[in-house]
């Protein structure tokens, strides 16, 4: 297994590379951290899991410590006591198996829509990774069953609501543990809903009968919110570059200048992300005939509007936010989150490492960045449609203004999404609600922060798609002037799903078609086919 580092997450392969990368034959889970790419491969591309034999030996050695405590008359949390506010209640040895099973059953109390398959697979892999550190005290066969369930393509049904992000993502993880016990409902490899017992039997997997400490170890982690953070970072590495592509197309279509993206000007403010974004814009606009057509002293524009001129500053700040989030994620990947935990010297100790604050904060921070990048994109879209600001383009890019409305309502759609993203940018992590009879009196709401970030990134992709569709039509209307090779390749790709200028037509399918090109990484791949890998 490769140990993940902040740099490995901060500068992974491009999204277009990821889309074209063959799924690895397997991902090995052992005592070290799973990597960013391991999580994405298992969650999104169905990579198989292998368990490191030496790590399994370590799991067995730690389990022996737990077994040695089962007859101890002194209470040990999660082994011979109840949970949460019931931590002082001693449980006799003949009731402890029931205690663990009851814990999972009672905590599998989620409600609402199903959580996406990729999220469930990510959180299960991350929980398995922690089990394999040997710090949780589970039996080796329990870890092996988790791997088998993932490899069989069985996905426990997890519900939207249930986690407060403290004591881990209890309800989501409990739904997964319940399935491993052969209870509850799952979706099989074909996506069909089935009883867990039937799905496990069909795959030849024996359900786990939990022993002391195991129920607690299976549900006491921040794996759900961390999994969603890692998937969000995978999305953002595509979306941030796509935002640069969209901005470059708008600079051309609105007869803007690339002079402000010069390296020496950007170096006067050496913010890392800003420099990367500006370098992308220079590459995307290199050799553009339409930019060259009005460059030089004869250009009547003194300076472009902020939504064009300041694109590297905003897109770059979002990149730097993602880089900070990647640093946090890398440290979380190195963590063994459980309570109690078995220390390296064999002690069984309670702790607070399950609190989701570190992850919740950066999830909220990313939602702010996504909202702001989308807001700038929508302003560029609107500029194309306003005759007072579009430098000669027809009103709303309509074929026959008045009879036709052009892209008027496409901008409404983008504006509505941006307003939603602003609401989603309100941080979840500043909220807390006491639970478990005030034993858990401060919680992170990290799961909620992750859920709303997923919606934010979906919205960002849609807003960028509308800008790209709009700028493609505007570039058509600038003929005989032509865009650069990279932006021209994107416009040609857009034309495969959305027609050019003409009388009004049913627009929603065209918008959805371009959204698909953005979300799949096809837009980025088209641009990078000319420029090479963007930063």
- Domain layout of the chain by residue ranges: 6-221, 229-530
Could you tell me which residues are beta bridge partners of residue 156? 186
d(CA 21, CA 314) in angstroms, rounded, equals 30
Does residue 463 have a pLDDT over 80?
yes
Give the mean pLDDT of the chain: 91
Q: What is the pLDDT of residues 470-489, one digit of tens each?
A: 999 999 999 999 999 999 99
d(CA 193, CA 155) in angstroms, rounded, equals 9
For the question of residue 361 being annotated catalytic, the response is no
Q: What is the DSSP string of 177-245?
A: HHHHTT-SEEE-TTS-EEEHHHHHHHTT-PPP---TTHHHHHH-S-HHHHHHHHHHHHHHHHHHHHHHH
3-state SS class at 437: coil
Torsion angle of the four alpha carbons 185, 187, 188, 194, in this order, in degrees rounded to the nearest 10: 40
**Residues listed for the chain:** 535
Same fold for the pair 6-221 and 229-530: no
3-state SS class at 455: helix
pLDDT of residue 166: 83
**Separation in Å, CA 372 to CA 237, 240, 257, 453:** 16, 12, 22, 13
Q: What is the pLDDT of residues 201-212, one digit of tens each?
A: 999 999 999 999
pTM, two decimals, is 0.92
Q: Could you write out the three-class secondary structure of 473-535?
A: HHHHHCCCCCCCHHHHHHHHHHCCCCCCCCCCCCCHHHHHHHHHHHHHCHHHHHHHHHHCCCC
Torsion angle of the four alpha carbons 457, 283, 289, 238, in this order, in degrees rounded to the nearest 10: -20
Please name the residue that has the structure tokens 């109390």: 109
d(CA 490, CA 524) in angstroms, rounded, equals 8
Q: Which of 77, 90, 146, 412 is catalytic?
A: 77
Topology of the domain comprising 6-221: Fumarase C; Chain B, domain 1 (1.10.275)
User: Which of 138, 311, 152 lies closest to 241, judged by CA?
Assistant: 311
List Cβ neighbours of 321 (8 Å cut-off, separation of 6 or more). 362, 365, 366, 368, 369
* CATH class of the domain comprising 229-530: mainly alpha
pLDDT of residue 432: 78
d(CA 418, CA 456) in angstroms, rounded, equals 9
Q: How buried is residue 369: exposed, middle or buried, by Cβ count under 10 Å (0-12/13-18/19+)? A: buried
Other C-beta atoms closer than 10 Å to the C-beta of 531 total 20
- Read off the DSSP letter of residue 404: B
Q: What is the pLDDT of residues 109-161, one digit of tens each?
A: 999 999 999 999 999 999 999 999 999 999 999 999 999 999 999 999 999 99
Q: What is the pLDDT of residues 333-364, one digit of tens each?
A: 999 888 888 999 988 888 888 888 899 999 99
């Amino acid at each position: 297994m490769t140990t993940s580092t902040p740099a490995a997450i901060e500068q992974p392969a491009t999204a277009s590379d990821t889309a074209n990368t063959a799924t690895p034959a397997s991902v090995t889970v052992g005592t070290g951290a799973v990597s960013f790419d391991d999580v994405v491969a298992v969650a999104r591309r169905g990579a198989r899991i292998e368990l490191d034999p030496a790590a399994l030996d370590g799991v067995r050695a730690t389990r022996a410590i737990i077994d040695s405590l089962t007859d101890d008359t002194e209470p040990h949390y999660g082994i011979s006591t109840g949970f949460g506010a019931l931590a002082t209640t001693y449980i006799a040895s003949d009731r402890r198996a029931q205690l663990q099973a009851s814990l999972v059953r009672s905590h599998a109390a989620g409600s609402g829509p199903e959580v996406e398959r990729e999220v469930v697979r990510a959180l299960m892999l991350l929980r398995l990774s922690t089990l394999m550190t040997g710090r949780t005290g589970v039996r080796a066969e329990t870890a092996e069953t988790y791997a088998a369930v993932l490899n069989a393509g069985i996905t426990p049904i997890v519900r939207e609501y249930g986690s407060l992000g403290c004591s881990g993502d209890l309800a989501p993880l409990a739904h997964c543990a319940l399935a491993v016990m052969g209870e509850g409902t799952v979706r099989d490899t074909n996506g069909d809903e089935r009883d867990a017992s039937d799905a496990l039997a069909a795959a030849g997997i024996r359900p786990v009968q939990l022993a002391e400490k195991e129920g607690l170890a299976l549900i006491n982690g921040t794996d759900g919110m961390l999994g969603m953070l890692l998937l969000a970072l995978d999305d953002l590495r595509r979306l941030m570059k796509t935002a640069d592509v969209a901005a470059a197309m708008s600079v051309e279509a609105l007869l803007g200048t690339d002079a402000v993206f010069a390296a020496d000007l950007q170096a006067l403010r050496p913010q890392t992300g800003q420099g990367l974004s500006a370098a992308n814009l220079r590459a995307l606009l290199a050799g553009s005939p339409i930019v060259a057509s009005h460059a030089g002293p004869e250009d009547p524009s003194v300076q472009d509007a902020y939504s064009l001129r300041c694109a590297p500053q905003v897109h770059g700040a979002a990149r730097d936010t993602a880089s900070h989030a990647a640093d946090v994620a890398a440290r979380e990947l190195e963590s063994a989150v459980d309570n109690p935990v078995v220390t390296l010297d064999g002690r069984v100790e309670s702790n607070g490492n399950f609190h989701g604050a570190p992850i919740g904060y950066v999830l909220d921070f990313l939602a702010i960045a996504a909202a702001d990048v989308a807001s700038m994109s929508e302003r560029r879209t609107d500029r194309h449609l306003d005759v007072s600001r579009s430098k000669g383009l027809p009103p709303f890019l309509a074929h026959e203004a008045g009879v036709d409305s052009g892209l008027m309502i496409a901008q409404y759609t983008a504006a509505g999404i941006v307003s939603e993203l602003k609401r989603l940018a309100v941080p979840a992590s500043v909220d807390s609600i006491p639970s478990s009879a005030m034993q858990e009196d401060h919680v992170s709401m990290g799961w909620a922060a992750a859920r709303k970030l997923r919606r934010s990134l979906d919205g960002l992709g849609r807003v960028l798609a509308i800008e790209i569709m709009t700028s493609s039509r505007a570039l058509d209307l600038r003929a005989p002037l032509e865009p650069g090779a990279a932006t021209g390749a994107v416009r040609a790709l857009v034309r495969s799903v959305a027609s050019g200028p003409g009388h009004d037509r049913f627009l929603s399918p065209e918008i959805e078609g371009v959204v698909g090109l953005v979300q799949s990484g096809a837009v980025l791949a088209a641009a990078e086919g000319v420029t090479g890998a963007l930063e």
